[in-house]
Amino acid sequence: MSISYAMQTGVSGLRANSTAVGRISENIANANTDGYRRSFVQMVTTSTLSDDASFSSSGVRAVQGADVSTEGALRATNSSTDLAIGGSGFFVVSKEPNETNETNFMLTRAGSFLPDENGDLRNAAGYYLAGFPYDQTASIGTVDRNQFGDLKTVNLGSLSQTGSPTGQMKVSGNLPAQQTGLDAPGEPFLSSAEYYSPLGEAERMQFSWQPSETESRWTLSISGSDGTDYGSVDVDFHDSGPLAGAPKAYSEGRPADENTPNFAFDPATGTATLTVDNGTEPQVIEVALGAPDEHNGMTQFAGDYSALKIGSDGAESGVLVRTEIDERGDVYGVFNNGSRKPLYNIPLAEVANPDGLLAGDGNAYALSRSSGKFSLNQAGQGSAGSLTAGALESSNVEVAQELTDLISTQRAYSSNAKIVTTVDEMLDETMRLKR
């Protein structure tokens, strides 16, 4: 190797180690950056082809990489929209809300998301979080998890829930058997239940259970909160045997007003059908008391009267008051009417080689050929990690290790600088041979 080759070798060492110092300084500067992934430099020997067709060493070059696959530690925060991934996967984000160009989507582990002025979730780097929206039936439908086209920006703005009318009610409870069969039966037992009109308005329906002089027989009367009497039905209960306490038989329903057929009863199923005149098109509500010979509805046993337990569908109109995010990535909206429904599902993007992703601004990564194809998987299923709300993932930089590397890199740089000064002295000595 000639003196000039020695000079070039020393210069290549200076260049490679200066690149390594740059990466180390970048790691130290981002030691407290949420979601940051450590970058590093590997030294690779370079060779040249000599005149005799043999390779000879001629220096070193720096090959840069990033440790994307190593996780950082999780730390708790006070924000419910801060998200951290425990395990494999990345958030899918975009620079613009509701991005339609798939090449503009990026992957990140930086989950410091907060709503912007429009309610769109955006992290500190300015990237918008993408997810699959749920429809009114709480379904995301059929989505293609191998492309970004079905994703929408997660928006937690002034959402409202439209009211839905009640169509079915199920009644259960216990009637005191000792109150029947008396010469002078006592006052009826009253309970009321809430239901919802087609406009989402909460209304109430009253159930009156009158004990009869006949043992194990009751008369149920149903009325509305506006004073409308719908009708009544007699219920006989079993008083012995394995079916004791269960309804034995129902009578035919008796509408309160024969001229207004707003009450019907099916003795075979124990279901009353009410027609509520609260709009241009009346609302029909089915009230299930429990089928004969079954204990899944109203019962009659000795003891105290238990207030009716009533389950019904429908919902009152409401506005969003807060959100909740579970470990599966489902974003739930909690409304001021007490209802809770899913709004979005946040998928986690997985690639075959995370370390092959291309680093971009703001701790975001772009797909590359070496990273492999991606898939949008549900958090907590298969190989995908789980989500933790109210937490952030810290940088995976170990400062002590970086400082140690800095010392060894500085020594290597100084040694290469010594090569350059030594070769310079040798060249100077060679120049003096002529004198």
pLDDT digits (tens, 9 = 90+) for 284-329: 999 999 999 999 999 999 998 988 898 888 887 788 888 999 999 9
pLDDT of 51 over the 80 cut? no
Q: How far apart are CA 200 and CA 342, in angstroms?
A: 19
Same domain? For 82 and 46 the reply is no
Q: Is residue 31 in a domain?
A: yes
Q: Is residue 184 in a domain?
A: yes
Instruction: Select from 305, 351, 87 the least CA-distant residue to 178.
Output: 305
Residue 57 is predicted with a pLDDT of: 59
Q: Is residue 418 in a domain?
A: yes
Same domain? For 345 and 236 the reply is no
pLDDT band for position 158 (cuts 50, 70, 90): low
Domain-terminating residue out of 280, 296, 312: 312
Q: How far apart are CA 317 and CA 335, in angstroms?
A: 9
- Extract long-range pairs of 352-359: CB within 8 Å, 24+ residues apart: 354/68, 354/69, 354/88, 354/90, 355/65, 355/66, 355/67, 355/68, 355/69, 357/66, 357/68, 357/107, 359/37, 359/39, 359/66
Q: How far apart are CA 90 and CA 74, in angstroms?
A: 15
Asked if 307 contacts 191 with a C-beta cutoff of 8 angstroms, the reply is yes
Same domain? For 43 and 82 the reply is no
Same domain? For 172 and 300 the reply is yes
Q: pLDDT tens across 399-435, in order?
A: 999 999 899 999 999 998 998 899 888 888 888 886 6
Domain-terminating residue out of 312, 336, 364: 312
Once rounded to an integer, what is the mean pLDDT over residues 160-176? 89
Of the chain, the percentage scoring pLDDT greater than 90 comes to 59
pLDDT band for position 47 (cuts 50, 70, 90): confident
Same domain? For 240 and 108 the reply is no
Once rounded to an integer, what is the mean pLDDT over residues 375-385? 93
pTM, 2 dp: 0.68
Same domain? For 291 and 359 the reply is no
Same domain? For 292 and 190 the reply is yes
Same domain? For 302 and 323 the reply is no
**Pairing mode, if any, of strands 168-176 and 283-288?**
parallel
Asked if 10 contacts 423 with a C-beta cutoff of 8 angstroms, the reply is yes
Q: Which of 8-12, 246-250, 286-290 has the lowest mean pLDDT?
A: 8-12
pLDDT band for position 82 (cuts 50, 70, 90): very high
Q: Is residue 163 in a domain?
A: no
Q: How far apart are CA 371 and CA 360, in angstroms?
A: 14
Give the tokens for residue 350: 């997985």
pLDDT band for position 55 (cuts 50, 70, 90): low
**Pairing mode, if any, of strands 55-66 and 121-122?**
unpaired
Residue 53 is predicted with a pLDDT of: 55
Q: Which of 98-102, 154-158, 379-383 has the lowest mean pLDDT?
A: 154-158
Same domain? For 143 and 191 the reply is no
CATH number, domain containing residue 196? 2.60.98
Residue 138 is predicted with a pLDDT of: 85
Q: pLDDT tens across 107-124, in order?
A: 999 999 999 999 999 999
Domain-terminating residue out of 277, 295, 312: 312
Domain extent at residue 197: 168-312
Number of domains in the chain: 3
Q: Is residue 23 in a domain?
A: yes
Distance of CA 233 to the CA centre of its chain: 48
Q: Is residue 339 in a domain?
A: yes
Q: How far apart are CA 333 and CA 255, in angstroms?
A: 42
Same domain? For 285 and 297 the reply is yes
Same domain? For 185 and 288 the reply is yes
Q: What are 389's strand-pairing partners?
A: 83
Residue 48 is predicted with a pLDDT of: 66
Same domain? For 206 and 287 the reply is yes
Q: Is residue 13 in a domain?
A: yes
pLDDT of 58 over the 90 cut? no
